[in-house]
Amino acid sequence: MAAIEILGLEKTYMVGFWRKRPKRALLPLHLTVEEGEIFGFLGPNGAGKTTTLKMLMGLVFPTAGTARILGRDWTDPEVKAQIGFLPEQPYFYDYLTAHELLNYYGQLSGVPAKDRKRRVEEVLESVGLTDIKGVQLRKFSKGMLQRAGIAQAILHNPKLVFFDEPMSGLDPLGRREVRDLMVRLKQEGKTVFFSTHILSDAEALCDRVAIIYKGALRGVGAVEDLTATVQGKVEVIWHGTQIPASLKALGAECHVTGDTVSAVIPESQQDAAIDALRRERIRLIALTPLRTSLEAYFVEKLQNSPDGTGKTLGTAV
Amino acid sequence: MSPRILHIARNTFREAVRDRVLYNLIAFALLLSGAAIFVGQISIDIERLVVVNLGLTAVSLFGVVIAIFIGIGLVSKEIEKRTLYTVLSRPVRRWEFIVGKFFGLAGTLVVNTFFMAIGVFGALLYVAHKFSRPDALILVALYFIVLEFLIICSLALLFSSFSSPLLSAVFAFSLFVIGSFADDLRGFAAMAHGATRWFATGAAYLVPNFSALNVISAVAHEQPMGGQLILQNTLYALFYTAMALSGAVLIFERRNLK
């Protein structure tokens, strides 16, 4: 069973004061997230990630389309008992302490009173919030608030967790802890759907990712599969120090290291390179496809999008 | 009642209690009760009348200010600060949120009224040295004041569900002022002609009739209160509150929380 099935969700806002004009925040989106996977929803700021999440949470109503969450209609209130949500830059009732806040959210999520206190302590410890008893949230730092946000999202032991920019505001140690937490959630059989514009996080964590830009889905799949589509380069390593002339003619950049030579060539010319080495009776040691980073794929998708100029990528990625 | 409504109401109450401005308003109301004692002492033979009038008016006015001040931010502030996101992403219906907020604010006002009423009775005991039978009527006036608060809470919530806190405050306070003169508006409608009559009559019945709920002067003058008036006012206040709350729910159910 799919954890999330998004079936053509789209959102158009009417903007302007006197003369209202439509602004499409999200074009029809079709997306399936399988149970038990960590799914990254990637895109630059303003791409439509948060709009999608808000629609799935029932905070914003779609212009068209529908979705199914954990096999049930997304509008079914009971579905929400099985999902957790961390909004972007969360802000909580700052007159409460973290314990009071989590106790309140536990009540709203239907966590039984007998388990609540223990569960609150557990999740606070799991996000690294200790020694904060009696401290109101208004005295929390941004990073501590983010941790409290993650704690409230997993408090009721949900099957599916939505994180909107979970690493935001966290120091390197905090980011690592959140990454570990996500892996732990996956190991517990939970599905994690998180949006981010920090690609290294997605690359390190996700089973699959989707890339969204200007409200449209630009690509979806496993990180390895996606990056494979834009590789197009292979590394050839052979024995000796000789560089065949025909290989040079292919435009290969060759590096001699000890008694081996390595060259990076376009994938389309790998057969020609092997033939050249055979003709010269040179022993081939390795032929390895070069893995391109998710960032390279991301940049390529955005630059090649119908209306993408890539101009904003410097700040977005 | 859904347990979620109770939890939201309790949290709303807790927020109000921890809000320092609330304490300032209560302190101010108690100060006014103190002033009532002072004025009562220099008002020969009408001490009771002055204390009851001033004391109950203080309870009513400061309760209205608290109701509007807190009520206008109940929904809009939650949207603005995005605290609502982590509530509505749980199995909480939007109507439960509105109703929970209403009960939380109403509960806050009832507790405030209780403490302010102690101040009024204390002032009365100070000037009169004992309670008399007509003093029980003060309880009826206080009950009507609470009914008034229920209406104002629901109106503040209604405005808060679609408007900014500032505009909500203007709307709610305007309705309070107009509603306080609802009897006069009805009198004007009866005397008017043509379109003005229709318009004035419509407006007179649309605005909350706070003048019917204001029996402070009658109680100060020890005039008896009939059971029928209590029943009528109760039904009217509950009906009006239910209508305003339904409006708030209808608007909020359709609202995009950007």
Q: Domain map of chain B by residue range?
A: 3-253
Cβ burial of B160 (10 Å; 0-12, 13-18, 19+) is: buried
What are residue A266's DSSP bridge partners?
A233
Tell me, yes or no, whether A180 lies in a domain.
yes
Do A30 and A61 lie in a common domain? Answer: yes
Interface contact A152, partner B, CB < 8 A: yes
Do A222 and A156 lie in a common domain? Answer: yes
- From B71's Cα to the closest Cα of chain A, the distance in A is 16
Do A60 and A175 lie in a common domain? Answer: yes
Tell if the CB–CB gap between B89 and A57 is shorter than 8 Å: yes
- From B24's Cα to the closest Cα of chain A, the distance in A is 17
What is the structure's pLDDT at A291?
A: 62
Cβ burial of A21 (10 Å; 0-12, 13-18, 19+) is: exposed
Domain limit, last residue, from A178, A202, A227: A227
Q: Could you say which residues from 1 to 40 on chain B have a Cβ atom under 8 Å away from some Cβ of chain A?
A: 3-4, 7-8, 11, 14-15, 18-19
- Tell me: pLDDT of B229 over 90: yes
Of the partner residues B18, B90, B256, the one whose CB lies closest to the CB of residue A80: B90
A231 contacts A245 by C-beta, under 8 angstroms: no
Q: A18-32, A226-240, B90-104, B141-155: which range is least confident on average? A: A226-240
- Our CA dihedral for B217, B220, B223, B228, rounded to 10 degrees, sits at 60
Which residues of chain A make contact with B86, given a CB cutoff of 8 A? 85, 87, 90, 92, 105, 149, 152
Tell me, yes or no, whether A300 lies in a domain.
no
Do A236 and A223 lie in a common domain? Answer: no
Tell if the CB–CB gap between A80 and B89 is shorter than 8 Å: yes
B145 contacts B56 by C-beta, under 8 angstroms: yes
Other CB atoms within a 10 A radius of the CB of residue A230 amount to 18
Tell if the CB–CB gap between A95 and B15 is shorter than 8 Å: yes
- Nearest 5°: the CA angle A268, A273, A275 is 115
Do A166 and A276 lie in a common domain? Answer: no
- Tell me: pLDDT of B242 over 60: yes
What is the structure's pLDDT at A317?
A: 28
Of the partner residues A60, A78, A107, the one whose CB lies closest to the CB of residue B7: A107
Q: What is the CATH number of the domain that holds A251?
A: 3.30.70.260
- How does pLDDT run across A82-139, given as a tens digit for each residue? 999 999 888 899 999 999 999 999 999 999 999 999 999 999 998 888 888 889 999 9
Interface contact A133, partner B, CB < 8 A: no
Total number of domains constituting chain A: 2
Residue of B nearest to A81 (CA): B91
Q: Give the integer Cα–Cα distance in Å for A134 and B244.
A: 38
| Distance linking the first and last C-alpha atoms of chain B | 30
Interface contact B99, partner A, CB < 8 A: no
Tell me, yes or no, whether A310 lies in a domain.
no
Tell if the CB–CB gap between B90 and A81 is shorter than 8 Å: yes
Q: Give the integer Cα–Cα distance in Å for B45 and A179.
A: 77
Of the partner residues A60, A77, A110, the one whose CB lies closest to the CB of residue B256: A60
For A137-188, give the DSSP string.
GGG--HHHHHHHHHHHHHTT--SEEEEESTTTT--HHHHHHHHHHHHHHHHT
Interface contact A60, partner B, CB < 8 A: yes
- How does pLDDT run across A153-173, given as a tens digit for each residue? 999 999 999 999 898 878 888
- Tell me: pLDDT of B32 over 80: no
Tell me, yes or no, whether A135 lies in a domain.
yes
- From A119's Cα to the closest Cα of chain B, the distance in A is 17
Do A62 and A192 lie in a common domain? Answer: yes
What is the structure's pLDDT at A307?
A: 57
Do A277 and A156 lie in a common domain? Answer: no
Q: Which residues of chain A have pLDDT under 50?
A: 309-317
What are residue A208's DSSP bridge partners?
A39, A222
pLDDT (mean) for B54-71: 89
Do A151 and A271 lie in a common domain? Answer: no
What is the structure's pLDDT at A167?
A: 86
Do A43 and A116 lie in a common domain? Answer: yes
DSSP code for A244: -
Residues found in chain B: 258
Q: Angle at which helices B194-206 and B182-191 pack, to 10 degrees?
A: 160
Q: What is the CATH number of the domain that holds A185?
A: 3.40.50.300
pLDDT band, very low/low/confident/very high, at B96 (cuts 50, 70, 90):
very high
Q: What's CA A192's distance to the chain center, in Å? A: 9
Tell if the CB–CB gap between A57 and B4 is shorter than 8 Å: no
Do A239 and A214 lie in a common domain? Answer: no
Number of H helices and E strands in chain A, helices first, is 11, 14
- B193, B184, B189, B183: which is closest to B201 by C-alpha? B189
The SS3 call for residue A242 is coil
What is the structure's pLDDT at A198?
A: 79
Do A196 and A272 lie in a common domain? Answer: no
- Tell me: pLDDT of B204 over 70: yes
Tell me, yes or no, whether A249 lies in a domain.
yes
Tell me, yes or no, whether A301 lies in a domain.
no
- From B156's Cα to the closest Cα of chain A, the distance in A is 21
Instruction: Please report which residue ranges of chain A form alpha helices under DSSP H.
Output: 49-56, 98-109, 113-126, 142-154, 172-187, 199-205, 223-228, 245-249, 270-279, 294-303, 313-316
Instruction: Give me the percent of chain B exceeding a pLDDT of 70.
Output: 98
Which residues of chain A make contact with B21, given a CB cutoff of 8 A? none
- Tell me: pLDDT of B174 over 70: yes
Other CB atoms within a 10 A radius of the CB of residue B229 amount to 16
Do A216 and A249 lie in a common domain? Answer: no
Interface test with A, best of B6, B75, B85 (most A CBs within 10 A): B85
Which residues of chain B make contact with A162, given a CB cutoff of 8 A? 89
Q: Give the integer Cα–Cα distance in Å for A38 and A35.
A: 9
| Mean of all residue pLDDT scores within chain B | 88
Tell me, yes or no, whether A175 lies in a domain.
yes
Q: Angle at which helices B3-18 and B20-41 pack, to 10 degrees?
A: 70
Which residues of chain A make contact with B7, given a CB cutoff of 8 A? 104, 107-108
Of the partner residues B11, B93, B256, the one whose CB lies closest to the CB of residue A61: B256
For chain B, give the DSSP string.
--HHHHHHHHHHHHHHHH-HHHHHHHHHHHHHHHHHHHHHHTSTT-HHHHHHHHHHHHHHHHHHHHHHHHHTTTTHHHHHTTTTHHHHTSS--HHHHHHHHHHHHHHHHHHHHHHHHHHHHHHHHHHHSS--GGGGHHHHHHHHHHHHHHHHHHHHHHHHTTS-HHHHHHHHHHHHHHHHTHHHHHHHHHH--HHHHHHHHHHHHHS--HHHH--HHHHHTT----HHHHHHHHHHHHHHHHHHHHHHHHHHHT----
Range of the domain at A283: 232-289
- Tell me: pLDDT of B123 over 50: yes
Tell me, yes or no, whether A309 lies in a domain.
no
Residue of A nearest to B77 (CA): A93
pLDDT (mean) for B98-127: 89
DSSP code for A104: H
Of the partner residues A77, A91, A162, the one whose CB lies closest to the CB of residue B91: A77
The SS3 call for residue A134 is coil
Tell if the CB–CB gap between A110 and B91 is shorter than 8 Å: yes
Interface test with B, best of A52, A56, A79, A93 (most B CBs within 10 A): A93
Which residues of chain A make contact with B90, given a CB cutoff of 8 A? 80-81, 105, 108-109, 156
